[in-house]
Structure 1
Amino acid sequence: MREHLDLPIAYDELKHGYYYTEPVANFPFLQTTAEDLVALIVARNALQHLEDTPLVASLRHSFLKLQQGMQDQISIPWADIDQAFSVKTAGLSQRDLGIFEKLARAILERRELRFDYTKLGAEKAESRHLRPYHLAEIDGGWYLIGHDIDRGARRTFAVQRMKGLSLLARKFLRVEDFHLEDHFAGSFGVWTRPDHGDGKAAYPRPVRVRFRGFAARFVPERRWHPSQQVTVLDETGDLIELRMELTALQDFQRWVLSFGSQAEVIEPEDLRQSVIRELKESAKRYG
């Protein structure tokens, strides 16, 4: 701190500690790198679609303070920096924004929730009693992860399918074994295999898909899952095999179908047959 921040610091040999040799009116702003700056801009832009919530209003104030403190370190105008980076998001409706704020409060204050939830494909909503742990943005949608008290297991809920949300006065202690990366460890998107109350992840299954044509060149360009492995099967790179270890296949199946005839599931067999059925049904729609 003495060398990098130019602070008047000395060591007290009797007390075995450091102290200021003179009053310090303003603590110097921390040194930042180009990577820090990019992360700051991207994080701010990623929350633009939540601008009507008090939570983001507070974050905007924090960003402003950081921006002011970095004026001496940044020679490029902030307006130019804003134009250089962006994050595309689907955004939330006004109803979802109201729910989002309540969910954020419930998580931060560790308060239980009650709400009605309609699952995909269900005709009626079900009442849920939840201890909320985490709110995550995944593929343009917001999802709440928490402990479903009535079912005795962790569940993931789409914010847009929640209604009648109420915050309860009852508080809870957050479990120490919850880690977001573990919760989604075997999932390709949002879907996870439900645990049975012990919080342990389901066993992953090996998945293999072969891609041809443009898909064979596009798929290796991104990291779709931590477990992915790509093998090139021909000299031109027009045929590859993608391998993963997944516990839930719903999101993965939709992703594979998006490549049409350029994707072929090799294993597991139940996923292969499910894709075949979907493609046959799609072919019927077009005569």
Structure 2
Amino acid sequence: MAKESFDKEIQFLRMLALTSGAYSRQQFAERLGISVHTFDKTLRRLKEIVSSMYEQLPQEQGKEFAEAIRFNYYESSDPMLLFLFRAKSLKESESHRISLLLAALNDQALTAMELMDVCCSGLDPKLPLPDEKTVRSDLKYLEEVGVIRKENAARPYRYRLHNDLVQSLSDEELYDLYDFVDVMANTQVPSVQGYLLRDGLKKHLQRNDAGKHVIEPFLYKYHFYSRILDEAHLFTLLSAIRSRRKVQFLYFSPKAEKSYTSRNTNPLFERESKGSLVQTLPLKVVYDHQYGRWYMLSSSRDGIRKYRMEGMTQIEETVAVSPDVFEAKRTELEDKLRYSWLIDTGRPIKVRARFFNPGSFEPNFVKERVLLQGQWGVIMEEDEHSFIYEITVNGTTEIKPWLRSFGSSCEILEPAYFRQQMIDEWKEIQAYYASV
């Protein structure tokens, strides 16, 4: 995944997608916790990235970045916010160097020293020449992400491109693989790696003159920008969980006035941060399909804590804990999540609801949806007109939107206070439609 952190750009794009250009420069900068100068510089940088990523478009189709987000965001099968991962994964010098390495390895297997000679002879004279340690670091990174592999087991290692899969498949098989990856990347999480794989397959087909026959069979209307943006933090957190390490980050809650603040590097211009500095032990990452949000569940001194990943910036791994401590904390969390609809760790409550069948319609789509989405709930009673669904959950907050989405096909029976809440909400909704 990305070698660089891009917290500022993530929050910048999130705000831009949320506001659709409604904020002025000053309002935008204040909400992000940056200066107007930094806002302008970031916007210029993102415009350059967009123009480089979409340079094949005719000149008359070029638009201002904010306008492109506002009007074109839902018209493409490729989520526009994904370009951030492509553009910020490597620094400019790394990008040139790695391009040379991959081009050299495309023809034959080479050692690190031979690749160093390739870099020194092929790099732009304006760029600094790499040393052996830098080249070996690049090779290690490319091997970790699966781009290259060692050809022999003894030193000196010879590296070659790890592209056996695409080389062994026919064009027809590559079309099928491309369509499969396209569907999975747009419907499953995490998705960023799937999009990058899809792009790689498309470029391979185009190099073989097969790409001109590729027709996009599916068009997706992408709703959840946070799903893509917050995947920048996902693999850092999963790495910390695997290594049983605590993490430290600056957190901005959803109700905070600011969603980002620049890292203070000059003491003369240091200012008070509006975020909270958090150090905690991550235990689990949860994705909410209903709202397209990522959550991190962790253990702190005051018990189990939950954080929205969209408010996490400047994430760093810190100290490791013992396996016994980690397992004890994870067991505690799993016990509290036993009856959680999503991440609620409150007191378990039994919820009973009556679902009404849709008349003589077949199939019974109400029952099918309850069976599909109702998690561990069970149908206790059933007749030709309705059925009673029963489930024990931690509180009613998280299950309420699901039950409410059935409208008049669902009646809450127990608990009594939950039934009254729903009655009050539906009365309030009815008042909105009262005759004038």
TM range (shorter): 0.5 to 0.7
1:156 Cα offset (Å):
2.1
1:69-120 alpha-carbon deviations (Å, 9 max, x no partner):
9x69x9x82531453553525353775344445434443441332332415x
Q: Which amino acid aligns with 2:319?
A: R
Rounded to whole Å, the distance in 1 between the matches of 2:275 and 2:432 is 30
Q: Does 1:88 align with 2:235?
A: no
1:192 Cα offset (Å):
2.7
Rounded to whole Å, the distance in 2 between the matches of 1:94 and 1:217 is 33
1:142 Cα offset (Å):
1.3
Relative to its length, the structure with more helix (as a share) is 2
Return the index of the structure with the highest Cα Rg. 2
1:207 Cα offset (Å):
1.1
Relative to its length, the structure with more strand (as a share) is 1
Q: Counterpart of 2:327?
A: 176
CA contact 1:186–1:247 (8 Å) conserved in 2: yes
Q: Does 1:133 align with 2:305?
A: no
Q: Does 1:52 align with 2:202?
A: no
SS at match of 2:383: coil
CA contact 1:52–1:97 (8 Å) conserved in 2: no
Q: Does 1:209 align with 2:353?
A: yes
Residues 247 and 93 (structure 1), Cα distance of their counterparts in 2 relative to 1, 3 Å cut: closer
For residues 1-287 of structure 1, the aligned pairs below 5 Å read 52=85, 68=165, 77-84=173-180, 86=184, 87-88=186-187, 90-92=224-226, 96-109=230-243, 110-118=245-253, 127-139=277-289, 140-149=292-301, 151=302, 153-160=303-310, 162-167=311-316, 169-173=318-322, 175-177=326-328, 178-179=330-331, 182-193=335-346, 202=347, 204-214=348-358, 216-226=366-376, 228-231=377-380, 233-235=382-384, 238-287=385-434
CA contact 1:187–1:246 (8 Å) conserved in 2: yes
CA contact 1:186–1:248 (8 Å) conserved in 2: no
Q: Which amino acid aligns with 1:170?
A: V
Residues 222 and 95 (structure 1), Cα distance of their counterparts in 2 relative to 1, 3 Å cut: closer
SS at match of 2:165: helix
Which ranges in structure 1 are unaligned for 5 or more consecutive residues?
A: 1-48, 194-201
| Root-mean-square deviation (Å) | 4.1
Which ranges in structure 2 are unaligned for 5 or more consecutive residues?
A: 1-81, 90-140, 149-160, 189-223, 258-273, 359-364
Residues 243 and 274 (structure 1), Cα distance of their counterparts in 2 relative to 1, 3 Å cut: same
Rounded to whole Å, the distance in 1 between the matches of 2:145 and 2:162 is 10
Rounded to whole Å, the distance in 1 between the matches of 2:146 and 2:343 is 28
Rounded to whole Å, the distance in 2 between the matches of 1:59 and 1:240 is 51
Q: Which amino acid aligns with 1:225?
A: Q
Rounded to whole Å, the distance in 2 between the matches of 1:125 and 1:283 is 40
Rounded to whole Å, the distance in 2 between the matches of 1:50 and 1:101 is 18
CA contact 1:106–1:167 (8 Å) conserved in 2: no
